[in-house]
Amino acid sequence: MTMRVAILGSTGSVGLNTLEVVRRHPDRYQVAALSAFRDCDALLAQCREFHPKRVVMVDKTAALKLRTLLADAGVTVEVLTGPDALDQLALDVDTVVCAIVGAAGLASTLAAVRAGRRVLIANKEPLVMLGDSIMRQAREAGAVILPVDSEHNAIFQCLPAGMQGALGEPGAGDRLGVRRLILTGSGGPFRERDPATFPSVTPDQACAHPNWRMGRKISVDSATMMNKGLELIEACALFSLDESRIDIVVHPQSVVHSLVEYVDGSVLAQMANPDMKVPIASALAWPERIDSGATPLDLLAAARFDFEAPDHDRFPALDLARAAARAGGTAPALLNAANEVSVAAFLAREIGFHRIAELNAEVMDKLPVDGTLELDAVLVADDRARSTCRQLIDANRIRTGGSQQHPSIST
């Protein structure tokens, strides 16, 4: 039976890799719906190839342009627009791939969960912001949540079948003998760089990941290791474990994607070349296996695996994330929102690289945490954190005479 798939964020890195996997298996998967923000040319090409029933172009001007382009090309596709339109893509499909970067992906992820779909989550932010609530709603709606992020997918693959089918269920790990989870991270492009030079880091340098090819926001998160902090928060919800039972280690080769340690002393690891098609294919086909198109791992060519403890002075984001995980409630949403604003400011050359973590910490210190993990409270926290972070950036502009650009990164 062909699986009908909706891909939210189909023009981004995860979306493109998902389409590569789907392209290899036309007998198994039908692309039923796609979404993009404003990239008309990319979405037009996808419509011409895959002929989805409907697409969403979030930007209304781009949606009008896409309708014209589709009509000129003789391709019949329903074009929806506006952020609320994303919720409709969970209709008439079997599987929803959630790959919209940032908090913008929260509403559509919730819609897919509430519709009881098979939900492949590639974007960290929904589970960071509303993790336990999303997992509870998934159980109530009969939705199946499958992690696509390479680290969480690696853990999922190393879990016993009984826990794979009980993600987010309190106590499942203890019942099945899980002692701790070990998230690996490459350390990004600045693993050995002197932190004293961080103020001179440029956006292009921060986005030059040594192993992965990702979007710019996620690449900066890797450079600060905030991505690993957010993954820790996400793992707490996905696998229903306290943050104290989740470790982070630096693994520069990005071949061992994460590990699970059991109470008997066994440690299971999932390994593959750093290619997002591997976890995507794993989640799409689960509990089966399909060809992903990734290059097979050559252990002799890999030659060695190195592991080291992360430098918390170099990567203060890790401690911020653990503090947010311990605080619970809206604390993770505050951290995530501040980070989205500070990273955007860095990419726009408004602030130096070192200021990303500093701003995130300042926002966390300034704003109170609401202990109730409800959608309305999370959205309020998200808005307040964004506003506060922006105010801090603007205040610094005033203090520095109208310019926030560090001399070394000014244009």
pLDDT in tens, 330-385: 999 999 999 999 999 999 999 999 999 999 999 999 999 999 888 999 999 999 99
Confidence band (pLDDT; 50, 70, 90) for 101? confident
Q: Rounded CA gap, 104 and 337, in Å?
A: 11
> CA 350 → CA 272, 337, 407, distances in Å?
38, 17, 11
| Per-residue pLDDT, 400 | 63
Q: How many CA atoms lie within 13 A of 239 on its CB side?
A: 35
CATH fold for the domain made of 3-147: Rossmann fold (3.40.50)
pTM of the entire structure? 0.91
| Residue 308 DSSP one-character state | B
Calculate Rg over the CA atoms of the chain. Answer: 21
**For the chain, where do the domains classified as CATH 3.40.50.720 start and end?**
3-147
For residue 185, list its beta bridge partners. 250
Tell me the CATH number for domain 174-409: 1.10.1740.10
Residue intervals of the chain classified under CATH 1.10.1740.10 are 174-409
User: Could you tell me which residue, 196 or 399, shows the higher pLDDT?
Assistant: 196
Report residue 399's pLDDT band, with 50, 70 and 90 as the boundaries.
low
